[in-house]
A and B are shown apart, each in its own frame.
Chain A
Amino acid sequence: MKRLLVSTTILAFSAATVASAQMTAVGDGEGQVDIVAWPGYVERGETDAAFDWVTRFEEATGCKVNVKTANTSDEMVALMNEGGFDLVTASGDASLRLVAGKRVQAINTDLIPSWANVDDRLKDASWFTVDGVHYGVPYQWGPNVLMYNTEVFPEAPTSWAVVFEPMDLPDGKPNKGRVQAYDGPIHIADAAQYLMAHKPELGITSPYELNEDQYKAALDLLRQQRELVSRYWHDAFIQMDDFKNEGVVASGSWPFQVNLLKSEGLPISSTIPEEGATGWADTTMMHVDAAHPNCAYKWMEHTLSSNLQSDLSVWFGSNPVTPASCTDGSGAQTAEGCTANGMDDFEKIRFWTTPVANCAQGEGACVPYYRWVSDYIGVIGGR
Chain B
Amino acid sequence: MTGTAAHPARGPGDRLTGLFWRRPKLLTALLIAPPLLWLGVVYVGSLVALLIQSFYSIDRFSGIVVKEFTLRTYAELLIPSNFDVIVRTVTMAAAVTLASVVVAFPVAFFAARHAKGRWKAVFYLGIMLPLWSSYLVKVYAWKLILAKEGIVTWAAEGIGAGNLLNAVLALPVIGGNSLSTSYIGTFLVFLYVWLPYMILPMQASLERVPTSMLEASADLGAGGWRTFRSVILPLALPGVIAGSIFTFSLTLGDYIIPQIIGSSRFFIGQTVYSLQGTAGNIPLAAAFAVVPIAIMLVYLTVARKMGAFDAL
Contacts and interface: CB of A to CB of B under 8 A. Distances in A.
Interface stretch (A107-115, A146-154, A159-167, A234-242): A234-242
A383 B177 CA distance: 19
A378 B176 CA distance: 18
Contacts of B58: 370
A109 B108 CA distance: 70
B97 interface: no
B265 A381 contact: yes
A377 B81 contact: yes
A93 B81 contact: no
A19 to B, nearest CB: 27
Interface in B197-211: none
A230 interface: yes
Interface in B249-286: 259-260, 262-266, 271, 274-281, 284
Interface residues of B, number: 39
A177 interface: yes
Given A246-B148, A356-B63, A380-B266, A370 B81 contact: no
A231 B264 contact: yes
A377 B89 CA distance: 14
Contacts of A373: 274-275, 279, 281
A157 to B, nearest CB: 20
Contact of A381 (B84, B143, B259): B84
Given A177-B177, A231-B181, A364-B61, A374 B264 contact: no
Contact of B264 (A72, A358, A380): A380
A31 interface: no
B164 interface: no
Interface in B115-156: 143-144, 147-150
A306 interface: no
B279 A229 contact: no
A67 B220 CA distance: 74
A282 B265 CA distance: 30
Interface string B169-201: 000000011101100000000000000000000
Contacts of B4: none
A246 B81 contact: no
Contacts of B63: 356-357, 368-371
B64 to A, nearest CB: 9
A358 B180 CA distance: 41
B84 A383 contact: yes
Interface in A322-379: 354, 356-358, 364, 368-375, 377-378
A247 B275 contact: no
11 contacts: A230-B176, A231-B180, A245-B147, A246-B178, A370-B58, A372-B279, A373-B275, A374-B281, A377-B81, A377-B85, A380-B266
Given A241-B143, A241-B147, 13 more contacts: A72-B278, A184-B274, A238-B143, A245-B149, A357-B62, A368-B62, A370-B275, A373-B279, A374-B279, A375-B81, A377-B271, A381-B84, A383-B80
Interface of A: 72-74, 93, 177, 183-185, 229-232, 234-235, 238, 241, 244-247, 354, 356-358, 364, 368-375, 377-378, 380-383
Query: Lowest 6 CB-CB distances: which A-B pairs, in order?
Result: A378-B81, A230-B177, A177-B177, A245-B147, A230-B181, A373-B279
